[in-house]
Amino acid sequence: MTGERVLEVEIHEARLDDRLQVPAIDLQDLPHSRKRDDDAPFRSDRTAGLARPRATRHEGRSRLVRDADGRDDIRGGLGYDDDARCALLAQGPERRVVRIREERRGIVDDSVGRNDLAQSRSDARGADGHRPYARDIAVSSTHVRPDDLATCISCGLCLNDCPTYRVLGDEADSPRGRIQLIRTVLESPAAPSETTVEHLEACLVCRACETACPSLVPFGRIMEGAREVLREREGGGRAARTMLDTVARPRRLAIVARLADIGARLGLARLAARLPGRLGWAASLAAPAEGPPFRGVDRDDADVSIFAGCIMREAFGETERATVRLLERDGHVVSVPEEQTCCGALHAHAGDGERARELARYNVDAFSGSDGKVVVNAAGCGAHLKAYGDVLAADPLWAERAKGFAARVRDVSEIVNPVPARARRAIRVVYQDACHLAHGQRIRAQPRALLRAIDGVMLVEIEDPERCCGSAGIYNLTHPEISRELQQDKVRKILEASPDVVVSANPGCMLQIAAGMRAAGSSPRVVHLARFLDDPDLVMAGDP
Ligand code: SF4
Ligand code: SF4
């Protein structure tokens, strides 16, 4: 460890200690009583100069400025142009986040520094091993683990990476703010205020904060538990309940997918997309299905099984078939267990824990016929399937089986070998990281390596490739305004790279980005990684 690195650690620890002495943030008193998405004043407030999503991590670094006292000022970094909003931001302890994040980067790649960082965290604990504020939490629910909450040291390093914080510019819409709100909710058995619910519901559960967090806060698990508490105390939206009910019922989902496909092919969706408001926005996301639905074969002699998903098998049949072909090309015998059902990720994100656990038990059972790998091609499903051990941890009958199942799950990019293909023409490819692949499963290099292995493919990186596109399950339907901001930001960055094709690994991202491309009048196709690897020339020829 060099002297310079020692200095970095000392600076960092001093700042962390500062953070720990910051008084608890009283989120109820902050001037953040943001209205709902569909609220007209909220929309006009945003257009009047609320934090813009255009700010990027790179901008944040290059435009970092010093104030008169020589302190870092995040205002220029975030690119806000609204003085009132800047003043609010400047009051918060997060104003030096960009600088601290850079220092942390110098530490986390160094194992000695990492140990020092861990040491500084444990030093902050009291004699009973808990941090002062964690000790006082009276958790009134079994859905959120006190240990998980106690991992947050309120350092604020996650703020700059949180898409909703960047769009809304409000501490209560940041990971740290939300954790504080969750603590408040759990301290009282009362129904949470409408404002608290809105801030917690506005989270994308993209888990970018997990990547940024030096304390390994399992934010996705915390938020899913908190949403379950909210749902128990104040119910849930009827529209969201209907959507979740539909994806968990294969026959109903097949009918809805068929109707959406017909609507898209007849141009009805395009017409409806011109309607104002939520209906028009929802219609803009519709796209024709990729060929007929996927119906695989359940085989006894298989060495790998496919988790086909709910929306994937109905609307992305060609991607499913391409996944099977890739595995068979590698010599695998593939089975598609018949009894499988929706993974339950959307239910867990929405706080319907009971349904999520029920679906998890179905799937653990459906795949119990073999002990081979379970291959999945949808990032959101994969992250959730890998978490089944957590989902059923409190169920003594299923906990061990769920853990065993989760250990078998692999994303398709983790298991297939590079395809020795040569594209007929040079293809500029943008790979868009799906949040639940990059942040949820830490899979970033494998898809890129598979794409680079194809002769003729030129992989072009975009700014902030890991920032959420705003799809996030049914988030784009429940929070259209924020979703649209993130979508437009993503599309702008993609178009700056002038790709021939955009490749992703999650159906929601594909629909969201493709809709943004259509709205921008742009032509690049958006396809799944498996389809592109299977036959890049066919994709470029426009095969539907
Ligand atoms: S999950 Fe995403 S949106 Fe939610 S707090 Fe973390 S970074 Fe922000
Ligand atoms: S979630 Fe992690 S990065 Fe964010 S404030 Fe808590 S400890 Fe810091």
Cα(441) to ligand 2 centroid in Å equals: 19
3-state helix, strand, coil in the chain (%, to 5): 55, 10, 35
pLDDT digits (tens, 9 = 90+) for 218-259: 999 999 999 999 888 876 655 566 666 666 677 777 777 777
* Whole-angstrom distance, CA of residue 78 vs CA of residue 56: 7
Cα 92 from chain centroid?
26
Cα–Cα distance measured from residue 54 to residue 70, given in angstroms and rounded to the nearest whole number? 26
Using DSSP's 3-state secondary structure scheme, residue 500 falls into: coil
Range with lowest mean pLDDT among 189-193, 346-350, 365-369: 189-193
Look-up of token digits 């790709």 = 499
Q: Which of 164, 216, 476 to mutate to test the pocket of ligand 1 (most atoms within 8 A of CB)?
A: 164
Query: Would residue 109 count as lying in a domain?
Result: yes
Q: Please report, for the chain, how many H helices and E strands are present, in that order.
A: 33, 10
User: How many angstroms does the Cα of residue 158 sit away from the middle of ligand 1?
Assistant: 9
Q: What is the CA(544)–ligand 1 centre distance, in A?
A: 34
Residue ranges around ligand 2 (CB below 6 Å):
152-158, 175-176, 209, 212-213, 215, 217
Structure tokens at 194: 């409408």
Domain boundary (203, 234, 265) is at 234
Which structural domain range is residue 396 located in? 304-415
Instruction: Report if residue 145 sits inside a domain.
Output: yes
Tell whether ligand 1 has an atom less than 6 A from the beta carbon of residue 380: no
Ligand 2 atom with the smallest distance to the CA of 159 is 4
Answer whether residue 82 shows pLDDT above 50: no
Element (H, E) at 391: helix 388-391
Question: Domain check: are 406 and 436 in the same one?
Answer: no
Choose the residue to mutate in 13, 133, 151, 153 for probing ligand 2, maximizing ligand atoms within 8 Å of C-beta.
Answer: 153
Q: Please identify, among 217, 234, 251, the residue that sits at the C-terminal boundary of a domain.
A: 234
The model's pLDDT over 274-293, given as tens digits with 9 standing for 90+, comes to 677 777 777 777 777 788 88
- Asked which of 218, 253, 284 is the last residue of a domain, the reply is 284
64 and 48 share one domain = yes
CB distance 168 to ligand 1 below 6 Å: no
| 39, part of any domain | yes
Burial 75-113 (b: 16+ CB within 10 A, else e): bbbbbbebeebbebbeebbbbbbbbbbebbebbeebeeb
Residue nearest to atom 6 of ligand 2 (CA): 152
Are 325 and 449 found together in one domain?
A: no
Whether ligand 1 lies within 6 angstroms of the CB of 183 is answered as no
Contacts of 195 (CB under 8 A, 6+ apart): 28, 32, 33, 34, 172
Residue 481 placed within a domain: yes
Q: In this structure, are 19 and 163 located in the same domain?
A: yes
pLDDT tens profile 321-356: 999 999 999 999 999 998 999 999 999 998 899 999
Q: Are residues 61 and 176 in the same domain?
A: yes
DSSP 8-state symbol, 417: P
The answer for residues whose C-beta is within 8 angstroms of residue 244's C-beta and 6 or more apart is 346, 347, 350, 352, 355, 474
User: Are 309 and 349 part of one and the same domain?
Assistant: yes
- How far, in Å, from the CA of 486 to the mean position of ligand 2? 22
Rounded distance from Cα 264 to ligand 1 centre (Å): 32
The answer to whether residues 315 and 408 belong to one domain is yes
Name the domain count of the chain: 4
Q: Say whether both 203 and 259 belong to one domain.
A: no
179 lines ligand 1 (CB under 6 A): no
532 is a domain residue: yes
pLDDT in tens, 476-528: 888 999 999 999 999 999 999 999 999 999 999 999 999 999 988 887 899 99
Has residue 291 been placed in a domain? no
DSSP symbol at 35: P
Q: Are residues 196 and 279 in the same domain?
A: no
Task: Give yes or no: residues 406 and 433 share one domain.
Answer: no
Residue 299 in domain: no
Residue ranges of alpha helices (H) inside 409-506 are 412-415, 435-441, 445-452, 475-478, 480-496
Work out which ligand 1 atom sits closest to the CA atom of 161: 7
Same domain, 215 and 270: no
- Decide if 16 contacts 120 (C-beta within 8 A): yes
The pTM for the full model equals: 0.73
Task: Report how far residue 345's alpha carbon sits from residue 376's, in angstroms, rounded to the nearest whole number.
Answer: 13
Ligand 1 pocket, mutate which of 161, 166, 168, 205 (most atoms under 8 A from CB) = 205
pLDDT band at residue 451 under the 50/70/90 scheme: very high
